[in-house]
């Protein structure tokens, strides 16, 4: 092995020692929770109550390991996991029993995420509609039957046609339905691109009609850009705080005049860097399921194109199964994102993490030693909210309880800190007890011992702008001292 390889290993080792001991107070820690085929959820297909318990167990585990963001797959291929007037409910969701209320998975996921301080984003599969068998099973409920003019078949798969402007209207109706009816923290797009190997994608008729002298490649990119612009503007008109993001291919473009194969810009007409530079995305979670020279420089390139917005590399622990990666491959990528001060990490997919594949959950437990706040979207709003006040601390029936008052409770979340002294730094992760709290109260068990702490609360608005700290409450944990 050459000297360069060992130098890289030494750098990554040193970075690991620093970041593991000093984790950031603000960091996205996300998972993709896949509902397609019930890969992550639901495993049970026949009982709503069991499905609810399964999801609660998953969210409890994510909370336990200090994750803070869930991409809940709310639209798969022409089916949805919410109560929609446009598309049918996914066949993965159990049918209500006689006398039982119908189940709205997205509403339930949002409610349960918010109870645990987790941010919940509606993950939308954009253009793919599924294969022949899937479309036939949906029958007249499929968009291929209800609105065949916007559907197109390619290699035995059905897609919405990006080249037909009416496709934009259909997708916008779905996005607007979700944003209007649900308290989502974000909308997150997958497959917001042309299909793989699309050189023969049958859109020539539309290109001839709408191309207007452009090359086919540029026309296709502009079709996706057109939808992204409409979608972003529409979301912001309805609820400006809802984060708009997507998961593009992990390699944005060729680097250093090298054509390293599959990339977003050239292969699938996906100009995600433009979406950030033009202000039509708040965040990108690129699917960086590669190693070494196909990961590190491409991660850096996403930051270059970030427009100082949120870039969170999507890491692929599933490759420890499919390609036999070592756990250290994922760990090195986790560490690199911190070294480069990227906004965080996202993982595909949830079950690969929570099953502790090759011990990866042990590594995450060390990596996420403390809770973390979400980065502020200051390009949408940079107004600092008022700090909470009248903080009270007491033990009630053996449970430690903090209560406070806040003048603005509209989509406000709170972070609880504690420190041994009043020389307090809210940028130290070790001071964070909990974040994402949505009530003006926090409870936890504390031991009856000789310790004493200053407790603090901050308020964050819907854009994750954080207030100053409130006046602290000082509390002795010993009943006799108190």
Per-residue pLDDT for 202 more than 90? yes
- Measured over the CA atoms of residue 104, residue 110, residue 116 and residue 118, the dihedral's sign is positive
- Indicate if the pLDDT at residue 450 is higher than 60: yes
Pair 321, 408 in one domain:
no
CATH code of residue 270: 3.20.20.80
Tell me whether residue 375 is in a domain: no
The CATH number assigned to the domain holding 467 equals: 2.60.40.10
Together in a domain, 461 and 360: no
54 shares a domain with 110:
yes
Using CA atoms, how far residue 99 sits from 95, 96, 102, in Å, is 11, 8, 9
Bridge-based pairing state of the strands 432-437 and 186-190: unpaired
Range of the domain at 240: 3-367
Average pLDDT, rounded, for the chain: 93
**Of 367, 397, 432, which one is at a domain's C-terminal end?**
367
Do 336 and 422 fall within a single domain?
A: no
**374, part of any domain:** no
Residue 107 shares a structural domain with residue 210? yes
Closest CA to 90 of 160, 36, 157: 36
Burial code (b: 16+ CB inside 10 Å, e: under 16) for 145-166 equals eeeeebbbebeebbbbbbbbee
Q: Are residues 78 and 187 in the same domain?
A: yes
Please tell me the distance from the alpha carbon of residue 67 to that of residue 76, in angstroms, as a whole number. 24
Q: Do 204 and 286 lie in a common domain?
A: yes
User: Can you give the pTM of this predicted structure?
Assistant: 0.94
pLDDT, position 480: 53
* Domain identity same for 441 and 341: no
Residue 376 lies in a domain: no
Average pLDDT for residues 441-450, to the nearest whole number? 89
Q: Does 195 fall in a domain?
A: yes
Q: Is 332 helix (H, G, I), strand (E, B) or coil?
A: helix
Inside any domain, residue 104: yes
Tell me: do 361 and 406 sit in the same domain.
Answer: no
- Is the pLDDT assigned to residue 481 strictly greater than 50? no
Owner of token pair 């993950």? 123
In a domain, 384, yes or no: no
Number of domains composing the chain: 2
Residue 95 reports pLDDT greater than 90: yes
313-366 pLDDT, tens digit each: 999 999 999 999 999 999 999 999 999 999 999 999 999 999 999 999 999 999
334 lies in the same domain as 433: no
Whole-angstrom distance, CA of residue 323 vs CA of residue 15: 26
Model pLDDT, residue 199: 85
Beta partners for residue 69, in sequence order = 30, 119
Same domain as 282, residue 419: no
* Rounded percentage of the chain residues whose pLDDT exceeds 70: 94
pLDDT at 8 over 50: no
């Amino acid at each position: 092995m050459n000297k360069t390889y060992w130098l890289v290993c030494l750098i990554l080792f040193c970075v690991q020692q620093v970041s593991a001991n000093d984790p950031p107070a603000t960091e996205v820690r996300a998972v993709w929770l896949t509902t397609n085929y019930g890969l992550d959820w639901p495993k049970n297909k026949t009982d709503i109550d069991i499905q609810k318990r399964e999801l609660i167990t998953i969210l409890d585990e994510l909370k336990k390991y200090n994750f803070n963001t869930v991409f809940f797959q709310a639209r798969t291929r022409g089916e949805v996991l919410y109560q929609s007037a446009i598309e049918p409910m996914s066949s993965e969701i159990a049918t209500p029993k006689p006398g039982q209320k119908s189940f709205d998975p997205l509403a339930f996921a949002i409610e349960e995420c918010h109870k645990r301080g987790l941010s919940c984003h509606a993950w939308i599969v954009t253009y793919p509609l599924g294969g022949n068998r899937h479309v036939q099973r949906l029958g007249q409920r499929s968009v291929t039957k209800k609105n065949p003019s916007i559907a197109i078949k390619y290699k035995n798969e059905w897609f919405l046609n990006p080249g037909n402007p009416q496709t934009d209207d259909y997708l916008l109706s779905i996005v607007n339905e979700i944003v209007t009816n649900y308290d989502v923290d974000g909308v997150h797009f997958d497959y917001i691109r042309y299909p793989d190997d699309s050189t023969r994608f049958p859109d020539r008729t539309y290109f001839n009609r709408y191309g207007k002298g452009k090359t086919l490649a540029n026309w296709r990119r502009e079709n996706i850009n057109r939808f992204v612009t409409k979608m972003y503007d529409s979301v912001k008109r309805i609820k400006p705080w809802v984060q708009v993001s997507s998961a593009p291919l992990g390699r944005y473009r060729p680097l250093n005049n090298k054509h390293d194969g599959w990339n977003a810009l050239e292969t699938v007409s996906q100009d995600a860097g433009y979406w950030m530079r033009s202000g039509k995305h708040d965040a990108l979670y690129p699917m960086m399921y590669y190693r070494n020279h196909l990961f590190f420089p491409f991660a850096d390139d996403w930051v270059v194109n970030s427009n100082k917005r949120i870039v969170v590399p999507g890491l692929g622990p599933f490759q420890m199964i499919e390609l036999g990666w070592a756990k250290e491959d994922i760990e090195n990528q986790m560490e690199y994102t911190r070294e480069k001060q990227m906004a965080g990490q996202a993982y595909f997919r949830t079950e690969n993490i929570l099953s502790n594949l090759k011990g990866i959950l042990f590594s995450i437990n060390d990596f996420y030693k403390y809770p973390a706040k979400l980065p502020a979207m200051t390009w949408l709003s940079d107004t600092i909210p008022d700090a909470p006040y009248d903080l009270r601390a007491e033990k009630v029936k053996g449970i430690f309880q903090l209560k406070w008052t806040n003048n603005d409770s509209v989509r406000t979340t709170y972070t609880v800190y504690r420190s041994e002294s009043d020389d307090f730094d809210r940028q130290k992760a070790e001071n964070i007890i909990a974040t994402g709290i949505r009530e003006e109260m926090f409870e936890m068990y504390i031991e009856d011992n000789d310790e004493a702490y200053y407790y603090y609360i901050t308020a964050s608005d819907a854009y994750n702008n954080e207030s100053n700290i409130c006046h602290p409450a000082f509390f002795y944990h010993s009943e006799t001292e108190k």
